[in-house]
Amino acid sequence: MKTLFLAIRAGDFDKVESLLDRKPELVGAIASPPPKKDTGQQPLGVAIKTRHLAIAQLLLDRGADVNFIEAEGVEGRMPVIIDAIDACVATVVGPAANEERAASNLAFLRTMIDAGAVVTRAHPDTGNPLLVSAFRTVNYWATGPCDQAQLDRLSAVFRVLIEAGADPDEPFEWVDVMAATKERIPRGTVTPREALTKYYRQSFGELMLQMLAMAEAEAPRRTTSRLGLFRRATR
């Protein structure tokens, strides 16, 4: 099993394909340390994080779980689709920003959603909607102002999420989790849109609100309140 994860990190497509041919069940393998950073992850997440999209696509073709999240207790666990969103954002505003790679990552994000990745599920630990986790990826990678081209590409990422059902106006309980004690401190009910002005620095919140407006302008029209009520009623 460790051989598979090493091959993924090395970007060795042929080796990964050969291993999966011999043991198809490895597509759902769970990594154990070393390295510690892979702990609890499946091959798809590692392939996305290491930016080996051809391998990630191979794993999808072999039945990788597009809704996988590490087991409870794994530090910093996130749904694997957040890895795909992070890859999109990093190639738009990160140090290694690249328009061609950004387009490839966006196409892969769409592929994951087409394969059944859910964007309407709250994080099991924090209760945060996926959009809030997506905002945080931008906050991490965007170290300075964004130009118009970057805003356009960011809005394309969020447009894909909104088209798939992510709702900027669905209320949720904002909870701070203390890093040292894991204590959960409720801060009140907000929507992802409101959180941008309430819990982020002003310049970032304004940037994201502008980007969000661009994304919504291009997304199919929908009745937000009815969509939110339906999702809450069916949880």
Q: In terms of DSSP H, where are the helices of the chain?
A: 2-10, 13-22, 43-49, 53-61, 80-93, 99-114, 130-141, 148-163, 192-198, 202-218, 224-233
- The answer on pLDDT for 223 being more than 50 is no
Provide the pLDDT for residue 224. Answer: 42
pLDDT of residue 35: 73
> Is beta strand 184-190 parallel, antiparallel or unpaired with respect to 172-177?
antiparallel
Q: Which fold has domain 1-65?
A: 1.25.40
**Domain segments of the chain as ranges:** 1-65, 69-233
pTM for the model: 0.89
Instruction: Flag whether pLDDT at 227 surpasses 70.
Output: no
Judge whether 115 and 79 are in contact, CB under 8 Å: no
Residue 7 has pLDDT above 90, yes or no: yes
Tens-digit pLDDT profile for residues 32-78? 877 788 889 999 999 999 999 999 999 999 999 999 999 988 888 99
Joined tokens for residue 164: 């798939």
pLDDT of residue 144: 82
| Region for 131 from its dihedrals, namely left if φ exceeds 0, alpha if ψ lies in -120 to 50, beta otherwise | alpha
Q: Left (φ > 0), alpha (ψ -120 to 50) or beta: where does 182 sit? A: left
pLDDT > 90? residue 96: no
Best CA proximity match to 54, nearest among 9, 106, 11, 3: 11
Position 228 pLDDT exceeds 80? no
